[in-house]
Amino acid sequence: MLSRSSPTDKRWAGSSLPTHTIFPLPSSTVTGILVTLLQETQLTKKKYYPFILFFTGGHTTEILRLLSCLSESYSPRHYIFADSDKMSEAKIRSFEQKRAEFTLDRIPRSREVRQSWTSSVVTTLYSILYSLPLTYKLKPDLILCNGPGTCVPVCISALLLGLLGIKRAIIVYVESICRVETLSLSGKILYYFSDYFIVQWPDLKEKYPKSVYLGRIV
């Protein structure tokens, strides 16, 4: 199986938390630590082009909490969500109302709730093919995602661009706070391909040693 080496493997081996922060946030906040982690992915650049993968419900609340702490260097922001998602667009526009640089795009949802596994393979492949031109057009530096199945096709598309030597994106996956003992399906897939895999419960850190445990982020 193809896998990507993670900067977390050596840097924080045997430790749950980094011990310093370069962001102007209280060092005691796990959100500040996460922002530090993102900041250290590409310290030599003055501008980043993030690809923010978004979803409705609790995923929306979690990722907005993370984005509220990121500097303006992480722009323009490109939001991707499922075409069946009826709630996220309004929340994104409300959150980004003071920023001029952001885009919204929809892709076919890779798997609906209670959809059969057989048909899910077909819809996921279709979603990957649909995502490829969009990923190629935007060529993101950073992909930040937090659990929805929508993130898998786009992350795979970004991995393909990297393998082809077109553009390598840093993938940061934040597992949902709802996942206490087991990973979501998206997490089980992207655990092997993400550069940073962040969990919010210690049981998951024990089961998945590559992961970084930051405590509760939201």
Which segment, 1-5, 35-39, 192-196, is predicted with the most confidence on average? 192-196
pLDDT (tens digit per residue) in 126-138: 999 999 999 999 8
Residue 160 has pLDDT above 60, yes or no: yes
Residue 57 has pLDDT above 60, yes or no: no
Q: Which is higher by pLDDT, 131 or 50?
A: 131
* Residue 177 confidence (pLDDT): 80
pLDDT (tens digit per residue) in 185-218: 889 999 999 988 988 888 999 999 999 887 776 5
Residue 181 has pLDDT above 70, yes or no: yes
Residue 26 has pLDDT above 50, yes or no: no
Local confidence band at 159 (pLDDT 50, 70, 90 cut-offs): very high
* Residue 60 confidence (pLDDT): 66
Instruction: Cite the DSSP H helix spans in 15-57.
Output: 30-39
Residues in Cβ contact with 142 at an 8 Å cutoff, skipping those fewer than 6 apart: 38, 41, 42, 48, 49, 50, 51, 74, 169, 170, 172
The stretch 54-80 carries a mean pLDDT of 69
* Residue 157 confidence (pLDDT): 93
User: What homologous superfamily is domain 25-110+120-213 in, according to CATH?
Assistant: Glycogen Phosphorylase B; (3.40.50.2000)
- pTM (predicted TM-score): 0.76
* Residue 19 confidence (pLDDT): 33
3-state secondary structure of 103: strand
